[in-house]
Amino acid sequence: MKRLFVKTLVATAAVAVLGIAPLAQAQTRTLKFANQNAKGHPIVLGMDKFAEIVNAKSGGKLKVTVFPGGALGSDQANLSSLQGGTLEMAAMNSGIFASVVKDFAVYDFPFLVSSPKEADALLDGPVGKQLHTRLEEKGLVGLAYFDLGFRELTNSKRPIAKVEDIAGLKLRVIPNPINVDWVSALGANPTPLPFPELYAALEQKAVDGQENPVATIQGAKLNEVQKYMTLTNHQYNPQSVVISKKVWDQLSADEKKLLQDAATESAKYQREQTRTAGSTILEALKKGGLQVTELPAAEVGKLRDKMKPVIAKHSAGIEATVSAVQAELDKVRK
């Protein structure tokens, strides 16, 4: 009996050292992971990497099923499902969470960051982590930030060589107040639409144009229904990888650690995908017939000036967060 006890003790210790004992005994779970971008998009590649890591490290006890292309509904529908616990995970533009935690609006401020280095410092630093922590009181747990990239402007009407050329265009925007306001500030007509409805709206000429990073434009084939692209880099979009708190609270400590580690690891991989694909995708869009121009520096300056009143308006009530963001960026710029 004593010998059997010793063998059992040694075996248990060995398995614990390998870190697989708790998950080996856990029930099998399947997590649905939703996003609006098409299969093959850098965001979805990051999601696939996350699923691969989770499956491998859990020995198949945790399985992640990726649903790209808006297959589980719009971002707004996904957000509601996450809070209700009927959807386990999603990756969506961080600014969308301003509807539940106002401070997230800062992520949609035009010209907030000017480089991937600045973005990483902000998102991986105390400000980015603190904002994700605040989602917990709203039924969400933020695990990591993916990189959607810098947004560019496209339309089917005319080339944009100066800021005034934007006036009068009917532009689809992400359905949130700051995006409506900055498009209005340029004299254009904002049309809030969920992303899955965008292609049809462009094809049917219900809207003239839209703004998205190049990978999203290519992935959703928006170049098929647009003629002109202007490189403006007017807005940088992080995407928050979140899990429903109702689901999170059912997980063991080991399962939580595994998912957090996988999110952190996949975020590094995903950011590389976005940043290395940009120039290649841009050339492909040009070869495909999209007429691409770069907004001159003087016009970018005018664009920035027109955005300042919008930023000031949406800074109201979140001044502490705006100041913390600016302080974090100042460190990098110095």
In a domain, 6, yes or no: no
pLDDT tens column, 179-224: 999 999 999 999 999 999 999 999 999 999 999 999 999 999 999 9
Instruction: Give the pair of three-digit tokens for residue 50.
Output: 């996350």
One-letter amino acid at 219 equals: G
57 and 127 housed in the same domain: yes
Residue 117 lies in a domain: yes
Q: Is the pLDDT of residue 9 over 60?
A: no
Of 272, 289, 324, the residue that ends a domain is 272
Q: What is the pLDDT of residues 60-114, one digit of tens each?
A: 999 999 999 999 999 999 999 999 999 999 999 999 999 999 999 999 999 999 9
What band does 1 get if pLDDT is binned at 50, 70 and 90? very low
pLDDT recorded at residue 173 = 96
Q: Domain containing 209 — which CATH number?
A: 3.40.190.170
C-beta of residue 59 within 8 angstroms of C-beta of residue 20: yes
**Rounded-to-integer distance, Cα 175 and Cα 178, Å:** 9
Q: Same domain, yes or no, for 87 and 213?
A: no
Specify whether 318 is located in the same domain as 208. Answer: yes
Residue with tokens 């907004």: 295
Q: Which residues contact 287 (CB under 8 A, 6 or more apart)?
A: none
Strands (E) across the chain are located at 29-34, 62-67, 89-93, 140-150, 152-155, 170-173, 189-192, 209-212, 228-231, 236-244, 291-294
d(CA 300, CA 294): 10
**In terms of domains, do 214 and 285 share one?**
yes
Are 158 and 117 found together in one domain? Answer: no
- Name, in order, each residue with C-beta under 8 angstroms of 102's C-beta and a sequence gap of 6 or more: 317, 318
pLDDT at 27: 80
Q: What is the pTM of this model?
A: 0.89
Give the per-residue pLDDT at 276: 94
The boundaries of the domain holding residue 176 are 152-235+281-333
pLDDT at 24 over 80: no
DSSP 140-185: EEEEEEEEEEE-EEEESS----SGGGGTT-EEEE-SSHHHHHHHHH
Residue 195 and residue 223 in one domain: yes
> Which pLDDT value is given to residue 7?
44
Structure tokens at 172: 């689809």
pLDDT computed for residue 14 by the predictor: 40
Chain length of the chain:
334
In the predicted model, what is the mean pLDDT of residues 328-332?
96
Would you call 5 helix, strand, or coil by DSSP?
helix
| Separation between Cα atoms, residue 274 and residue 164, nearest integer Å | 31
Residue 63: phi and psi, rounded to 5, are -120, 135
In a domain, 14, yes or no: no
Q: How confident is the model at residue 16 (pLDDT cuts 50, 70, 90)?
A: very low
pLDDT in tens, 33-49: 999 999 999 999 999 99
Mean pLDDT of 141-156: 97
In a domain, residue 211? The reply is: yes
Count of domains for the chain: 2
Q: Are residues 55 and 164 in the same domain?
A: no
Quick one: 87 and 32 in the same domain?
yes
pLDDT bin (cut points 50, 70, 90) of residue 23 is low
Inside any domain, residue 82 = yes
The residue among 81, 91, 95 whose CA lies nearest residue 49 is: 91
User: Between 4 and 101, whose confidence is greater?
Assistant: 101
* Residue 297 included in any domain: yes
Q: pLDDT value at position 144?
A: 98
Q: Are residues 162 and 226 in the same domain?
A: yes
Do 136 and 156 lie in one domain? The reply is no
Domain membership of residue 186 (yes or no) is yes
pLDDT at 67: 98
pLDDT tens digits, residue range 121-135? 999 999 999 999 999
Residue 17 lies in a domain: no
Q: Are residues 132 and 160 in the same domain?
A: no
Q: What is the pLDDT of residue 279?
A: 85
Q: Are 305 and 89 in contact (CB under 8 A)?
A: no
Residues 200 and 294 in one domain: yes
> What would the DSSP string read from start to end of 246-277?
HHHTTS-HHHHHHHHHHHHHHHHHHHHHHHHH
